[in-house]
Chains A and B, each alone.
Chain A
């Protein structure tokens, strides 16, 4: 892999190893297709059940006898919670938070990755190791000190309280650094000889080569921010500012076993994430392959 990393030109497709054809099996066997079918049945059933419950009339799948599909489609599962709680504005809030958080977090991650991969300075390894060690901090436990700090800064009840503290994202820094290690130094040297500043090199040489990385960072960051529950719940005190997961927590408190309503909102809460994934997923495997995670 180390040779692979050195040979690779970042930003272009990694050399794709040919599919490891196996001896004695010239065409894809029926066995493999059957296996895939069985695996898919099990792995996709929960997703199906989420959608089926959301669409089925309440009581249809919740009775005591076994039913595996809805008798009819009943959209009142959606209207019940939607009329009781302002999910619409919570959606907008979540989107605003996620988008701004992605912009800030990704830029900050990229900068750190660049510096840690391509600049040599005293303390570099210490900085990197300390940043990585923060991955192991149990978030639930440090929440109270974090809350105090955010309160001191006067950010309570603003989106900044949700966005900024979570921009310290060690996993993203790690991904960025690993990726940038594989960018050939010669490219950077050339720019340096032209008298470009470090930031300029970052902007005009490194960034254009980092698109797969950026796609990966966008997917992960968007996912983390969109799905986060505990922290927004504590720092956002105004219900008008709540996010979708916080809304789901509300719903769970009021519709404890109304699974039709719960699943319908769970489904709605997931759609934007699926959308982002659908847009960026083409770059996911490639992006990860070139980040040197493998």
Chain B
């Protein structure tokens, strides 16, 4: 959302100096809201109202289908003392902290590789993007099959090379690694496409200027391309962080949170609390915490971005 705000700032800066009323700015608010009405109804009814209800549920103790009982901050107190909640929170942060940079750097790498003419460029762009159109269930099933401890192809290759199989399913860190691998694999193509689009916006003159200054290929990437893609990177970071807080199907089908709770993420934990253990009050409270954390991250990230921009 901060990207959007930044965009709005740009727009107003762009338009104000003209000192003219432009576009449809004089139309009444009534028309605007009339055209917005379908959206307002949809968002209000199916996202904001449920959010409000979720916040309310977070203050209740529920045991399934009966009516809840108000318990104030009880769910939040329980959360503070719940080891599995904290473990899930740590897992979620680790997951995001590894997945997001890997996806961004990998996506940028692919974009740079395929930005300039190379044989089969269009084909490779499409093929690399393809995993992103697979459903989470398909990605997870594929992951389960590839990383199967006994008969999965990864372990079979490792054994054929003389090594031992990796306990992808029965040990925590490898299980987390398998999830990260699948999620990164799925999202790389998306980041690549966005970066490819971003590369189109870097003015050619900057590259020429750098070349004139005798910059090497790596220096051009470092001092022209990367700074030129700052907006893109900012946008992708926000989007990927939001996504990694909400990744559900892949984790649920691939590891189900196990072994133990070593791949339990906040969203899978909340789901299991809400639907498995019928603790919807508690699950809602966890959901509220997730919402607030992501919102806070986005706002802070946007501010830091704005500050660095102001500095330069």
Contacts and interface: CB of A to CB of B under 8 A. Distances in A.
A195 interface: no
Contact residues of A: prevailing secondary structure: helix
Given A47-B127, A135-B1, A145-B57, A285 B27 contact: no
B285 to A, nearest CB: 9
Contacts of B153: 49, 61, 66, 68
Contacts of A140: 246, 248, 267, 270-271, 274, 287
Contacts of B294: 136
A100 interface: no
Interface string B16-40: 0000001111011101110110111
Contacts, number: 342
Interface residues of A, number: 124
B47 A137 contact: yes
Contact of B1 (A22, A132, A245): A132
B133 A270 contact: yes
Interface stretch (A74-82, A84-92, A197-205): A197-205
A32 B113 CA distance: 7
B128 interface: yes
A138 B291 contact: yes
Nearest to B53: A145
A266 interface: yes
B137 A64 contact: no
A112 B36 contact: yes
Contacts of B45: 149, 165, 168
Contacts of B8: 125, 128
B231 interface: yes
B127 A142 contact: no
Nearest to B47: A134
A177 B120 CA distance: 34
Considering residues A16, A22, A116, A142, which has the most beta carbons from chain B within 10 angstroms of its beta carbon? Answer: A142
B137 A50 contact: no
B286 interface: yes
Contacts of A36: 113-114, 118, 124
A248 interface: yes
A198 B31 contact: yes
B151 interface: yes
21 contacts: A18-B204, A22-B220, A39-B110, A114-B35, A121-B32, A123-B29, A127-B40, A140-B246, A140-B274, A149-B46, A198-B27, A227-B134, A230-B248, A245-B137, A248-B138, A266-B141, A266-B142, A273-B133, A277-B129, A286-B197, A294-B200
